[in-house]
Amino acid sequence: MSDHPTAFGDAPREPGTIAWDDRAALHHKDDGDGVFDGAKALRRGSFSELIRHLMLLPEESRGDYVIEKAGDREYSAAEVQALADRPDFPEESDN
């Protein structure tokens, strides 16, 4: 994960920062996880790309999905909304 140093001498990210460029996948909320979880992804991209994509969906259907970020951390629609509202959320051209 990019939250950790990737090479000797690199420094970890500052606490409280988000690795917007980490790999992530969009899943149905209740897709069952399991051995074939990776094959069930509806869409893949950077964490910020998938946040942007989820925010484009109608508000009433966002709760049907989660974003699974590198390291098996799942983000609910409410968490994704909070991340999209952060002042440090990258502009689309930053990716």
Span 31-79, pLDDT tens digits = 666 544 555 788 999 999 999 999 999 999 999 999 999 776 889 999 9
Q: Say how many domains are in the chain.
A: 1
Domain, as residue range, for 73: 37-94
Query: How does DSSP assign 44-78, residue by residue?
Result: EEEHHHHHHHHHHS-GGGGGGEEEEETTTEEE-HH
Structure confidence at residue 1 as a pLDDT band (50, 70, 90): very low
pLDDT, residue 43, reads 92
* Domain membership flag for residue 23: no
- Does the residue 46 lie in any domain? yes
In a domain, 22, yes or no: no
Question: Is the pLDDT reported for residue 5 higher than 50?
Answer: no
pTM: 0.75
More confident residue, 6 or 39: 39
Check: CB of residue 68 under 8 Å from CB of residue 51. Answer: no
